[in-house]
Structure 1
């Protein structure tokens, strides 16, 4: 009878897979021996396998190159990285080795751009597409970047006031894009995205604010839908509406030459994941060309803004099963030595799925379990709703510690979880390891951040001796109002 965990996986999925295999009865991820990683650095542990960032960028570039060649598509393809997925320097450094461009979403993003320029990682030829709702500091930072010579910084107009705000601070002529406010799926609470300008208002907006404005040159139309790039009627319908707007605008705006189709490529969230990326790219390119030919306008340069796809599959988290709680006849809770809310917040916030596999003990019998985090919050768990199906793991054995890994966690989890800051129930952020390969394929590892210590959290909370005393005193001259000693924190 096949009762081992390895048998369950073999019966359920094609295994091994390109990034997962067993070596000496333990799991390897892209050739990284995870038990050796645990023995060296302990658990809980987070890691980033940097080569996967470049790998996914190159995959996407090859799909577009193949589609352009097949359809004899006239135009250029530009890969942009959506920095909000992960702002970390090691991520940008790796991504920018692949001749890509950047999409920003806030004022501080521009400070990162300036830092990268100082280091020579990007130049004035690098496109910086500035999305998001722009006010004050963001507008000022964009303007300063353009005024300093970065003419390929293209603010994507999100509302009717941004042209005037930018014009007041930018010296001379500048380029812009316009974001389309796409219509969302019927199941959404809202019908239209809060971002961008409605389909019907794009051409009138161009005529009113850009067409006769000598300072502003329209270069790009930006299209993105919240559910991402999917092979369904909703996506193709929204893309068709976008192309109708593009061709109508192109006929009256000769400077318009680029279409930004945003991001939204899914990443692998189970061993059963199946998405035909090459087909989707081929069909997108084909539809853009077909509509443009029908409307007798030149095909645009195509931009994408892949964020999760760029960095997501590079990340992982490893936990140790501390204890098993039998709560009733059917429910066994495996308690991990960390918290899902703090280290993988999307599992808690949006029931996001990640690949979950044991690191060791694959050749032992298995059981159905639930996974619980350390906090006292009832929502700190990972179960079959977040997983692709019921969770099975090698049977708990107090004498034989079990380690489990969550994979493809590299996008958003650190920023949403508040990296380096306070964590729910003061559960510390785990140690984070960066893994790289040299030209000969040899692995190297370094610690990016140590596990948070008590003093790190106490300092944030104001308990350390160096923090300003919060000694409230009554001021006799202020009608009994309270004030801070020394009037500052």
Structure 2
């Protein structure tokens, strides 16, 4: 009988996969021996595999190069990284090895930009796309960047007041973009995005506030879909409406030459994940070209803003199963040595799914379980996984340690969870490792942050002096 965990995976998915394989009954992730990490560093444990950031960037660049060639698309392509997905220096350093550009969303983002410029990681030719609702400090920082000579800083106008706020501060001619307030997906709680300017208002807004302002050069129309780039009727319908606006603007604004199709690619969230990235890019460029050719306007340069896609698949978290609680005849709870609310907040906040696999004991028999975290909050659990909303893991045995890994967790978890700060029920943040490759291709592991200690939390709470 096929009763082992490996049998379940073999029957359900194609396995091994590009990033996952087995060695001696244990799981490898991008050839990283996860049990070796556990034995050396303990758990709970988070890690970032830096080379995957460059891998994903290069894949996307190649897909766009292929699509431009296939469609004879004359516009250029620019890859931007959304810093809000992960602001860490090690992430930016790795991403910027790949000749990319940056998208920001708040005032402090531009302090990071200034630091990167001082270190020579970016220069005045690097595009810095400034999104978000802009007030005081954000406006000041944008103005300082432009006044300092950063010619490719492009603030994307989010509302009717930002033009006046920017022109008061910026001392030279500068480029801007305009963000479209797209309609949300039909099942969403409201109809139109709170960000940007409505479709029907954009051309009147340009005529009223931009056209005759000699300090402004409209270069970009920004199109963002909250659900990301998906092959469904909703996405294609919103793209078609966006292209109508672009064509209308281009006819009266010769300087407009770029379309920012913000809203990123999905990332792998199960072993059964399927998404044809090349097809989607081909079809997006094809639709843009068809519309522009029909309306006899030049095709725009294409900007993308990939955040989760850039960094998400570089991250992972490993926990130990401490104990099993049999709460009734059907529900067995495996309790982990950390908290989902604090370490993987997306699982709790937006029901995000990640790839969940055991790190060891793949040749053991399996059982259906629920996963519980250490906090006293009833929402601190994880029960939605790739196996039809059930979790199957090797059977709990108090004499045989079981470790489990969540993979592709590299985007948003640290910033949403409040990295380095207080956590719910004072559960400490796990140790965080950085995994890179040296010049010979050997894996090199360093500790980025040790697990929080009691005194770290007591200092924040005011019990100990800072």
> Given the two structures, how large is their TM-score scaled by the length of structure 2?
0.99
Q: Which residue of 1 aligns with 2:303?
A: 303
Do residues 166 (structure 1) and 163 (structure 2) align?
no
The CA deviation string for residues 37-73 of structure 1, in whole angstroms up to 9 with x for no partner, is: 1111110000000000000000100000000001110
Contact 1:370 1:383 in 2 (8 A): yes
Q: Which residue of 2 aligns with 1:73?
A: 73
Q: How does 1:237-256 map to 2 (within 5 A)?
A: 237-256=237-256
Distance 1:231 1:351 in 2: 21
Partner SS state of residue 224, structure 2: coil
- How many residues are paired up? 466
Distance 1:389 1:67 in 2: 36
Q: How does 1:53-72 map to 2 (within 5 A)?
A: 53-72=53-72
Distance 2:377 2:154 in 1: 44
The CA deviation string for residues 158-216 of structure 1, in whole angstroms up to 9 with x for no partner, is: 00000000000001101000000000112111100000000000100000011000000
The CA deviation string for residues 284-305 of structure 1, in whole angstroms up to 9 with x for no partner, is: 0100111000010001000000
Contact 2:356 2:385 in 1 (8 A): no
Q: Which residue of 2 aligns with 1:472?
A: none
Distance 1:355 1:145 in 2: 40
Contact 2:25 2:362 in 1 (8 A): yes
Q: Which residue of 2 aligns with 1:328?
A: 328
Task: Give 1:452 deviation, angstroms.
Answer: 0.2
Distance 1:294 1:185 in 2: 28
Contact 1:356 1:406 in 2 (8 A): yes
Contact 2:354 2:385 in 1 (8 A): no
Q: Which residue of 2 aligns with 1:113?
A: 113
The CA deviation string for residues 84-143 of structure 1, in whole angstroms up to 9 with x for no partner, is: 000000000000000000000000000000000011000001000000000000000000
Task: Give 1:438 deviation, angstroms.
Answer: 2.2
Partner SS state of residue 145, structure 2: helix
Do residues 280 (structure 1) and 275 (structure 2) align?
no
Contact 1:347 1:386 in 2 (8 A): no
Runs of 4+ in structure 1 off by over 4 angstroms are 385-388
The CA deviation string for residues 235-277 of structure 1, in whole angstroms up to 9 with x for no partner, is: 0000000000001100010000000000320000000000000
Q: How does 1:253-402 map to 2 (within 5 A)?
A: 253-384=253-384, 389-402=389-402
5+ long unaligned stretches in structure 2: none
Distance 1:398 1:98 in 2: 47
Contact 1:64 1:281 in 2 (8 A): yes
Task: Give 1:387 deviation, angstroms.
Answer: 6.8
Q: Which residue of 2 aligns with 1:454?
A: 454
Distance 1:14 1:305 in 2: 31
Contact 2:358 2:402 in 1 (8 A): yes
Do residues 10 (structure 1) and 10 (structure 2) align?
yes
Partner SS state of residue 223, structure 1: strand
Q: Which residue of 1 aligns with 2:42?
A: 42
Contact 2:46 2:316 in 1 (8 A): yes
Q: Which residue of 2 aligns with 1:203?
A: 203
Partner SS state of residue 261, structure 1: strand
Q: Which residue of 2 aligns with 1:222?
A: 222
**Aligned residues: CA RMSD:** 0.9
Distance 1:416 1:136 in 2: 24
Task: Give 1:385 deviation, angstroms.
Answer: 6.6
Distance 1:428 1:302 in 2: 43
Closer, same or farther: CA 387–260 of 1 in aligned 2, 3 Å: farther
Task: Give 1:388 deviation, angstroms.
Answer: 5.0
Contact 1:46 1:318 in 2 (8 A): yes
Distance 1:336 1:39 in 2: 17
Task: Give 1:439 deviation, angstroms.
Answer: 3.3
Q: Which residue of 2 aligns with 1:476?
A: none
The CA deviation string for residues 402-434 of structure 1, in whole angstroms up to 9 with x for no partner, is: 000000000000000000000000000000000
Contact 1:78 1:304 in 2 (8 A): yes
Q: Which residue of 2 aligns with 1:236?
A: 236
Distance 2:204 2:335 in 1: 58
Contact 2:226 2:263 in 1 (8 A): no
Distance 1:303 1:264 in 2: 11
Task: Give 1:384 deviation, angstroms.
Answer: 2.9
Distance 1:335 1:31 in 2: 28
> Given the two structures, how large is their TM-score scaled by the length of structure 1?
0.94
Distance 1:62 1:439 in 2: 24
5+ long unaligned stretches in structure 1: 468-489
Q: Which residue of 2 aligns with 1:414?
A: 414
Mark the structure with the bigger radius of gyration: 1
Contact 2:385 2:391 in 1 (8 A): no
